[in-house]
Structure 1
Amino acid sequence: MPRPPPTAEEIEEFRRQKLVEVIPEGMSKSEWKKRKRQQQWQDSKEEYRREKRAKKKAVAARQREQGTKPQRKFPPKTQQPSGLSFVFDCAFDDLMNQREVVSMSNQIARAYNVRRHCTYEMPLSIVSFDKRLKTRFDDVIRDHVNWKGIEFREEPLEKVFPDTSKLVYFSADTDDVIEELEEGTTYIIGGIVDKNRHKNLCINKAKELGIRVGRLPIDKYIAINGRSVLATSHVYEICCKWKEYGDWERAFNEVLPPRKLKDKSEDDDHNESNTTGEVETTHDVVSDTVENSGANEEEGAKSEPKAN
């Protein structure tokens, strides 16, 4: 239900508070406004969630009356072993702004939900889980401590996986295309939301650590509308779908939103090496199903910023 417009008394009170507010010493006006918005969200989020739940119940009731309610998908009771494992390398906290950190946390929550519903065991580790990302989880997504099949490690990648012989780091900046996911291999996905500001970030780190690199075969199966910058959670979900179907094209088309896709015949002559499945990610909106599994949303993650 929409919120009622503010009353004349509320407007007057807002104006009065604005006249007497004092910006803390050492803080800019823009930072002060940002802090106020964050506090306003914290103060109103419970009401927002109640309204959202009420709206979902109303929609579900209407769908039941019309006989159009889709069947709910439950996680499988048992998952088959896959022989694969995945890592989100989140060592890039200092390269993101706060909004991007929020986005990254929501993508991790989305990936957890994908893992729960996959018919295969696709274990996931989050490494370099520290700084603002960890604070975000501790403050907002506190249920992550109960998540199964996903491990949070504060140690960096090289400490958690000192043996690099069975590691592959996803990067769009390589000519090595991954045609199949190999059992016994751990695949690393760069956990950064930077709108492609930082070029060659993942491939340079992989080379420094002596880790093999590979890229998804996107241009072989589909064409992307615009630059092929995929969310971290999308890369993980695509890998889950490939394991289920054994079909990259079906996995891409099922996971990627329609706005990202276009007729491949229109773009056969315009693919470049850096537009083939970039995993240095853009923002991904957390779905309602993630919220149900314990990931709480924040106002800063309600809308998806456009890629540059």
Structure 2
Amino acid sequence: MEIFDLFGDDIITEHQNEKNKQLKSEKQQIKNELHRQKVVQKKKEKKKKIKQQKQEIIQTLETQEQKNDFVHQFKGLRNQKKENGMKALQSPFRIIIDCGFEDNMSDKEQRSLARQLSELYTENRKIDVPLKIYVTNIYPILHKYLEQYNYKQWQLVSEERLFTDIEEFQQANIVYLSPDGEEELQEIKEDEVYVIGGLVDRVIIKNATLNRSRQLGVRSAKLPIGQFIKKNYKKCLNVSTAALMISGWLKYKDWSKAFDSIVPQKFKEQEANEQ
């Protein structure tokens, strides 16, 4: 009885903690499954909507020749996306998404990262100057979320390894992009490889990517965007936007024009603030 009095509370507390952990894990599994179903349903709805719009357009066309031409153009657009994907794989301009920030993100933020990578892949197949994309350090949870977007079919390079362990980059000129870097990136060079931290942080983690670059022993630099962003907004971009800024510079050779073409209006410095 005395032993139980001494250790009974600890045993009960430990048992309750284990039970709480199990309940939390089960709730998270249910939440993840609901999210997966939601993503799948959205895909089905989008596919159905495109098919319906296609049929509606065909019905407005008068002749069979017009209908055949439209179907041919429709297939041509799909083929063009595939060709653009192949073009991206051959691009001399390389970017790495370093997904080595698992411990810094919540489950929701990791799902958001997977969505951003999907958006980046989609947009990269549309732009004038596509980038060759490497997604590295893919860990099990992120892999699970990326599978919801069929990422194994993407025309890019995906790796579970850290990019410094990949032979192609061991002698490369690496530039790790960080909003906390002291140096501003002036131009994009073909002989440099640009790394973007695969980090989604709703509450900004100061120096996260800068410390990562120092840990890996690679040069860091920041995109010169501070002068274009409203004062009350953070001076860092999400993963897909940061990558597309690089392509924007390659198109315009001007950071201001790249920023205007890529970044959402809500972040932009208004003319009234500049005067």
TM-score normalized by structure 2?
Answer: 0.72
Shift, 1:102, TM fit: 0.6
The answer as to 2:104 corresponding to 1:95 is yes
The answer as to 2:126 corresponding to 1:155 is no
Matched-pair contact (CA < 8 Å) for 1:93–1:131: no
* Residues in 1 aligned to 2:187 and 2:273: alpha-carbon distance in whole angstroms: 27
- What residue number does 1:303 align with? none
* Residues in 2 aligned to 1:91 and 1:153: alpha-carbon distance in whole angstroms: 12
The answer as to 2:190 corresponding to 1:183 is yes
Change (3 A) 1:47 1:172: closer
170, 178, 193: which one pairs with 1:171? 178
* Residues in 2 aligned to 1:240 and 1:51: alpha-carbon distance in whole angstroms: 31
102, 121, 124: which one pairs with 2:133? 124
**Structure 2: 5+ residue stretches without partners:** 1-17, 61-72
Change (3 A) 1:113 1:41: closer
Map residues 246-265 of structure 1 onto 2, 5 A cutoff.
Answer: 246-264=253-271
Q: Which has the higher helix share?
A: 2
* Residues in 2 aligned to 1:64 and 1:52: alpha-carbon distance in whole angstroms: 18
Shift, 1:77, TM fit: 4.4
- What residue number does 1:275 align with? none
Change (3 A) 1:219 1:38: closer
Shift, 1:155, TM fit: 0.9
SS at match of 2:243: helix
SS at match of 1:120: coil
CA displacement 1:132-152 (0-9 Å, x = unmatched) = 1112224x22x222222x111
Matched-pair contact (CA < 8 Å) for 1:171–1:202: yes
Q: Which residue identity does 2:259 align to in structure 1? A: F
209, 231, 243: which one pairs with 2:250? 243
* Residues in 2 aligned to 1:117 and 1:215: alpha-carbon distance in whole angstroms: 25
* Residues in 2 aligned to 1:90 and 1:44: alpha-carbon distance in whole angstroms: 24
- What residue number does 1:223 align with? 229
- What residue number does 1:83 align with? 92
Shift, 1:76, TM fit: 8.4
Change (3 A) 1:50 1:188: closer
Change (3 A) 1:241 1:65: farther
Size of the alignment, in residue pairs?
Answer: 237
* Residues in 2 aligned to 1:114 and 1:58: alpha-carbon distance in whole angstroms: 23
Map residues 32-47 of structure 1 onto 2, 5 A cutoff.
Answer: 32-42=26-36
Shift, 1:119, TM fit: 2.7
- What residue number does 1:144 align with? 151
CA displacement 1:240-291 (0-9 Å, x = unmatched) = 12212222222111211112223155168xxxxxxxxxxxxxxxxxxxxxxx
Matched-pair contact (CA < 8 Å) for 1:76–1:117: no
Shift, 1:121, TM fit: 4.3
* Residues in 2 aligned to 1:253 and 1:155: alpha-carbon distance in whole angstroms: 35
Q: Which residue identity does 1:97 align to in structure 2? A: S
Shift, 1:120, TM fit: 2.9
Matched-pair contact (CA < 8 Å) for 2:101–2:199: yes
Matched-pair contact (CA < 8 Å) for 2:91–2:132: no
* Residues in 1 aligned to 2:118 and 2:42: alpha-carbon distance in whole angstroms: 20
SS at match of 2:160: coil
Aligned CA-pair RMSD: 3.3
Change (3 A) 1:123 1:57: same
Q: Which residue identity does 2:242 align to in structure 1? A: V
* Residues in 1 aligned to 2:138 and 2:36: alpha-carbon distance in whole angstroms: 24
More displaced 10-residue stretch of structure 1: 113-122 or 89-98: 113-122
**Structure 1: 5+ residue stretches without partners:** 1-23, 269-308
SS at match of 1:229: coil
Shift, 1:211, TM fit: 1.0
Shift, 1:209, TM fit: 2.3
Q: Which residue identity does 1:189 align to in structure 2? A: I
SS at match of 2:176: strand
Q: Which residue identity does 1:92 align to in structure 2? A: F
- What residue number does 2:13 align with? none
Q: Which residue identity does 1:190 align to in structure 2? A: G
81, 94, 104: which one pairs with 2:113? 104
Change (3 A) 1:88 1:63: same
250, 263, 266: which one pairs with 2:273? 266
Matched-pair contact (CA < 8 Å) for 1:89–1:127: yes
* Residues in 2 aligned to 1:61 and 1:259: alpha-carbon distance in whole angstroms: 37
Percent identity reads 22
